[in-house]
Amino acid sequence: MSAAAEILVPGKAGEGEALVLTAPISFWGGVDPKTGRIADVRHPQHGEVISGRVLFLPGTIGSSSASAVLMELVHNGRAPAALVLHEPDAILLLGLIVAREMGWETPMAIRLERGAFDAYRGTAVRVGADGAVTIAV
């Protein structure tokens, strides 16, 4: 399976186990920037680690601090391998943009139709430099 996606923020191509979230998440208070673990006890994937995985986000719960948390994840080496969003989130993506400006290697962020997310659940996924999303072999 392969799908072309729109690149929202260029970055390093990434590969990792897909983590398809079943509910939107708040990065501020919802993700621990030191461990990359989902810390929100109300989130269905509480306890899952986003670090090194291709993170499929059905949505985010707004906070202007989300960008700072994502930037911290990048700085701490705990960022996802790639971010796949259904809708662009300017606040969240700002964290990647600022991290790039700081000279840090950042994961790529892409937009993909929400209906395609489930096809990647439970698989290893590669997000190529061109934004193509494929199941890794």
Residues with active-site annotation:
63
User: Which two tokens mark 93?
Assistant: 């993506």
Determine the Cα–Cα distance for residues 28 and 15; give it in Å rounded to an integer. Answer: 25
Quick check: 133 and 2 in contact, CB under 8 A?
A: yes
Q: What are phi and psi of 69, to 5 degrees?
A: -65, -45
98-102, long-range: CB < 8 A, 24+ apart: 98/67, 98/71, 99/70, 99/71, 99/74, 99/75, 100/9, 100/11, 102/71, 102/75
Residue owning tokens 């290697």: 105
